[in-house]
Amino acid sequence: MLGGMQDFELRVPRLIEHAAREHGRREIVTRWADGSKTRTDWAGIERDARRFAQALVRLGLRPGDRVATLAMNHAHHLAAWYGAIGMGGVIHTINPRLFDDQLVYIANHAEDRVLLYDRAFQPLVDRLRDRFTTIEHYVIMDPGSQSGAGGEGDSTFRALVDAEDGEFAWVEGPERDPCMLCYTSGTTGNPKGVLYTHRSSVLHALAEIQPAVFDLDTRSVLLPIVPMFHAAAWGLPFAGAVAGCKFVFSAVNDPPVLCDLMNRERVTTSAGVPTVWLGLFAHMDATRISPEHLRLVTIGGSAAPRAMIERIMRMGVRVNHAWGMTETSPIGTMGARSPDWDRLAFDQQVDQVAMQGRAPFGVELRTVDDEGVVLARDGRSSGRLQCRGPWVIGRYFKAEEAATDADDWFDTGDVALLHPDGTMQITDRAKDVIKSGGEWISSVELENAAVGCPGVAEAAAIGIYHPRWDERPLLLVVRKPGSMVSEAEITAHLGDHVAKWCLPDAIVFVDELPHTATGKLLKTALRERYKDYRLAAA
Amino acid sequence: MLGGMQDFELRVPRLIEHAAREHGRREIVTRWADGSKTRTDWAGIERDARRFAQALVRLGLRPGDRVATLAMNHAHHLAAWYGAIGMGGVIHTINPRLFDDQLVYIANHAEDRVLLYDRAFQPLVDRLRDRFTTIEHYVIMDPGSQSGAGGEGDSTFRALVDAEDGEFAWVEGPERDPCMLCYTSGTTGNPKGVLYTHRSSVLHALAEIQPAVFDLDTRSVLLPIVPMFHAAAWGLPFAGAVAGCKFVFSAVNDPPVLCDLMNRERVTTSAGVPTVWLGLFAHMDATRISPEHLRLVTIGGSAAPRAMIERIMRMGVRVNHAWGMTETSPIGTMGARSPDWDRLAFDQQVDQVAMQGRAPFGVELRTVDDEGVVLARDGRSSGRLQCRGPWVIGRYFKAEEAATDADDWFDTGDVALLHPDGTMQITDRAKDVIKSGGEWISSVELENAAVGCPGVAEAAAIGIYHPRWDERPLLLVVRKPGSMVSEAEITAHLGDHVAKWCLPDAIVFVDELPHTATGKLLKTALRERYKDYRLAAA
């Protein structure tokens, strides 16, 4: 051989080792569900992680085994991730907001052997314990005194960890070993598991701390509002270790608690779905208290309304608009500022942030039409968004077939267009697009325009069979309390925002709309409910 | 198999593909040696790189073959790197400042098949052509009309590239394939080759763009003053592609040219060894013209004097003090700001920057004493600095044995101490330490204190044999022009800065001091010259 550089497997335990060694005293603060607050640091998290790894070995777990969590964001959850992964296991974060049948399917499909859960989920655990076929050990994660009927015999995370001495060497192995399992909560069929590897998680974490993405260094104080059971809290528990930043976790997402934590702990950086920011705004309006130290807010999970982006930017806070999915670890694009940012007017800056941003190194994007022909990056041609890269899924857990085509392209199910400068703009979910006479009408565009109409609380657009046009839009509207907004008023408002041929053929007022466990509109249920609806003009 | 994420080899051509695809219009500006200025962009660099790769194949080169450059920083050099690497070759950057015998040794040892050179090095090429035993093709890189006697028959980079159509698919292969070869100019023995791999270069580039290191995104305008033949210009040509930043290259390092480029091209970020900043200061003092858009300056290669750091910081520019070597790709540590930075007084901030900073994720550091015992990170225990990680050398090119111990620790030859917060502080080169009665006296500390004395231009401290103490310091001083500073005055000055037992036993005034090709003090020559020197007290 000629010579060369060192071997160094990209394994997740190296992240916690780095954080403990180089940033050992940087704090990890938790505000627990019972209102108490505790402080540890990266050295403390590593100590707990090693002891938890020992405890898992004592319970008989072997490398590759799955360790499940039903838990909110807190220091024990963080230590459990690094401990389970460090003993060679696979941490499996279950979304407690799923329906019972989904929870049972997921835990059994994953063959989880241990379930770590927060006291808040004791009723859930008691209800489903008999249906979980593979779980041998139940462990209560968070401190507190309240406990349900069935939890008396379950051990606690603290007791397990305190029984060990921490003399544990991280399990070594190839960097393509699995380390984490996250199920997607699709709107149809059973949830599917995405199996992250050590390599994909480390590369994703390295990419995340760059200035154009989460912009993290040891000076950052990071409060991830996105739960650790949503695509690994967007990978932040790994990225935070690379950067050595201070973490502030809250096990509850009440706006007053979050705002108070942000100010007391001097939080610089936060990340969450659009609804959490709406809650925070309401709190700010009611109390006149604002987060004082915020510097960067990332909004993802679903598209951020323009007014939300504008409001945060007017607070002097940088806004990143992110796009991704569980299958992409999840960072696909990030709305970083362009080279000409400083020369743009404020409205132009908001326009830029309102799009989904650009792909960092590692992610490759393209759009294709219905025949699979690759579309131009012209800012006009909308098509199915596909992506590939080292933190993009290859195959779902236990699936027989690849999740991609032969060239590794993963079809995201989103419809988007790419601008010449690489900026990506989501226009719709592929299955929600309304196909009218060979043209595509974006349901998202109609819904966004409709909620901008005074008196409209929420709206959903779906395609209804039409003998001539194949499909035409039906708009379902939930009025705000007390509002009497009419179909004509909404149509007039829409006329100012969408092309005439995209206007809905009918508007139906409803009391509420169905949602998925993660808060997204459940369009499948709507399409089923209105499948026999006949448009007047048809 | 269970499922998992996609395969994606970390290959250097992915960097240029990313830059061309996502940041294709971001500019690459060159100020050539002949005074002309050209502009291309990342898409243009990729086009040239693919055509150059085709040209190399046409010349008969095969994957693994070495392509050498004797060139300054410019767009053709950048395209040549990506082209040679993209055809599976190994780019070999030769330092033109080396002595003839070293140049001949290096080119022959590397078995270079092609030599790309700038017109300025035509005399060198003409002089050594007959002694280069493996070079088959000579290519002039830069535009211009001046050419030497022997260069008439050599082809030019532009002509080679323009003859191709760019229809070339990058050569695929394992990420641990070599991509680049850099020789270290040691002070003893033959130069040794460090063989970077695709994997090490990509990981290093990903690490470099993070906020705590070079802090690069597409808004950055980067002028690397460090030459591309010095540890790959500290990896910036790769990092710049990851970030998609604008590059400004200057083929000459005259302060007026650099300062003019910085202002015209709105350079935000620069990097170079201490001497270039001294030159820039003199220009600023003489003309009252300063770089207006600089935001971050990185100083490395050798330790930056405190006064230099202070002056740049007073310009409102962030200063990063870096430590590394060719064997570490080269980033070992970077002087990023600590969490409490904003609460520090200016002097404390300068103190912090004056140290060598902290290890980013991927680099692990330790210090050991003469018996190999690992020392505490206590900010006091000085010992030999060792490091390991994915971009640290495993084995020198063609070497029989590893460059590391069995646990991958590479001994850097530096003497340093580690502070409790992970900050590393270089105290000396191991071979330059003066060992007095079992204690170590830092030659660097003596030299830095001496050059702070009015009238002293340069100083070198070496150990002289002493019958009782084993070694005692001798200080060699070059006076500033016209200065008559005395031994007593220097000793008095030193007494304010170093411990009494570290004061030199004698001071000798000399007209000049010997330097290596890269401008470092040639202590081996000094020790040889003064080996028979007898201290008066001995």
Query: Which of B1, B5, B217, B424 should be substituted to probe chain A, the one whose Cβ sees the most A Cβ atoms within 10 Å?
Result: B5
DSSP string, B252-270: S--HHHHHHHHHHTT--EE
Q: What is the pLDDT of residue A149?
A: 44
Phi-psi category of B458—alpha, beta or left, where left has phi over 0 and alpha has psi -120 to 50? beta
* pLDDT of B130 higher than 60: yes
Query: How many residues are there in chain A?
Result: 538
**Percentage above 70 pLDDT, chain B:** 97
For B9, the closest chain A residue by CA position comes to A390
Please state the pTM of the whole predicted model: 0.90
Residues B306-324: pLDDT tens digits? 889 999 999 999 999 999 9
Q: What is the pLDDT of residue A78?
A: 98
A501 noted as active-site residue: no
Q: How far apart are CA A14 and CA A29, in angstroms?
A: 22
Q: Which two tokens stand for residue B431?
A: 């071979």
CB B192 within 8 A of CB B396: yes
* pLDDT of B186 higher than 70: no
Residues B23-41: pLDDT tens digits? 999 999 999 999 999 999 9
Cα B48 versus chain centre, distance: 26
Question: Known catalytic residues of B?
Answer: 184, 327, 435, 440
Q: Which of A87, A82, A78 is nearest to A59 (CA)?
A: A87
A401 noted as active-site residue: no
Q: Which two tokens stand for residue B278?
A: 């001294």
Confidence at A305, pLDDT banded by 50, 70, 90? confident
Beta bridge partners of B112: B66
DSSP string, A382-396: -EEEEEESTTSEEE-
A430 CB burial (10 A radius; 0-12, 13-18, 19+): middle
Q: How far apart are CA B451 and CA B485, in angstroms?
A: 12
Q: How far apart are CA B297 and CA B193, in angstroms?
A: 29
Q: How far apart are CA A229 and CA A250, in angstroms?
A: 14
Q: What is the pLDDT of residue A152?
A: 61
- Contacting residues of A for B21, CB less than 8 Å apart: 364, 422
Confidence at B149, pLDDT banded by 50, 70, 90? very low
Q: Which two tokens stand for residue B94?
A: 């030769």
Q: What is the pLDDT of residue A6?
A: 96
CB A180 within 8 A of CB A92: yes
To the nearest whole angstrom, how far is the Cα of A192 from the nearest Cα of chain B?
Answer: 11
CB B413 within 8 A of CB B431: yes
A531 noted as active-site residue: no
* Chain-chain contact of B398 with A206 (C-beta, under 8 angstroms): no
Residues A169-184: pLDDT tens digits? 999 999 999 999 999 8
List of E strands, A312-455: 318-324, 331-334, 364-368, 383-388, 393-395, 410-418, 424-429, 434-436, 439-441
Confidence at A136, pLDDT banded by 50, 70, 90? very high
- Give the residue-averaged pLDDT of A195-222: 98
Q: Which two tokens stand for residue A231?
A: 């695509």
* pLDDT of B185 higher than 80: no
Residues A493-529: pLDDT tens digits? 999 888 888 899 999 999 999 987 767 788 888 988 9
Q: How far apart are CA A491 and CA B216, in angstroms?
A: 47
Q: Which of B76, B74, B114, B73 is nearest to B92 (CA)?
A: B114
Residues B451-470: pLDDT tens digits? 889 999 899 999 998 888 88
Q: How far apart are CA A145 and CA B401, in angstroms?
A: 61
CA distances from B85 to A390, A500, B120, B173, B244 (A): 21, 54, 25, 11, 19
Strand-pair category, A296-299 with A269-272: parallel
Question: Least CB-CB distance to A22: which of B207, B359, B394?
Answer: B359
**Percentage above 90 pLDDT, chain B:** 78
Q: What is the pLDDT of residue B1?
A: 52
- Contacting residues of B for A394, CB less than 8 Å apart: 3-7
Question: Least CB-CB distance to B217: which of A193, A212, A422?
Answer: A212
State the virtual CA torsion across A143, A144, A149, A152 in degrees, nearest 10.
Answer: 50
* pLDDT of B515 higher than 90: no
Q: Lowest-confidence range among A305-319, A366-380, A427-441?
A: A427-441
Higher-confidence residue: B55 or B442?
A: B55
* pLDDT of A146 higher than 70: no
Confidence at B146, pLDDT banded by 50, 70, 90? low
Q: How far apart are CA A68 and CA A102, in angstroms?
A: 14
Higher-confidence residue: B427 or B232?
A: B232
Higher-confidence residue: B339 or B470?
A: B339
The 10 Å Cβ neighbour count of residue B514 is 14
Question: Least CB-CB distance to A197: which of B5, B193, B194?
Answer: B5
CB A92 within 8 A of CB A181: yes
* pLDDT of A188 higher than 80: no
Helix axes A75-86, A13-22, angle to 10 degrees: 120
To the nearest whole angstrom, how far is the Cα of B411 from the nearest Cα of chain A?
Answer: 14
Q: How far apart are CA B461 and CA B477, in angstroms?
A: 9
Q: How far apart are CA A299 and CA A312, in angstroms?
A: 11
Helix (H, G, I), strand (E, B) or coil at B343: helix
To the nearest whole angstrom, how far is the Cα of A472 from the nearest Cα of chain B?
Answer: 36
- Give the residue-averaged pLDDT of A383-387: 95
Q: What is the pLDDT of residue B345?
A: 97
B340 CB burial (10 A radius; 0-12, 13-18, 19+): exposed
* Chain-chain contact of B5 with A422 (C-beta, under 8 angstroms): no
Q: Which residue in A17, A164, A175, A327 is the catalytic one?
A: A327
Q: How far apart are CA B28 and CA B22, in angstroms?
A: 15
Confidence at A430, pLDDT banded by 50, 70, 90? confident
Max Cα–Cα distance, chain B, nearest Å = 79
Q: Phi and psi for A19 in degrees, rounded to 5?
A: -60, -40
Q: How far apart are CA A521 and CA B506, in angstroms?
A: 83
Q: Phi and psi for A224 in degrees, rounded to 5?
A: -80, 115
CA distances from A486 to A306, A446, A530, B490 (A): 24, 16, 21, 91
**Predicted complex ipTM:** 0.90
Q: What value does the mean pLDDT of chain A take?
A: 93
- Give the residue-averaged pLDDT of B125-146: 93
- Contacting residues of B for A243, CB less than 8 Å apart: 210-212
* pLDDT of B172 higher than 80: yes
Confidence at B151, pLDDT banded by 50, 70, 90? low
* Chain-chain contact of A193 with B3 (C-beta, under 8 angstroms): yes
Q: Which of B154, B72, B74, B173 is nearest to B115 (CA)?
A: B154
- Give the residue-averaged pLDDT of A321-344: 94
* Chain-chain contact of B211 with A209 (C-beta, under 8 angstroms): yes
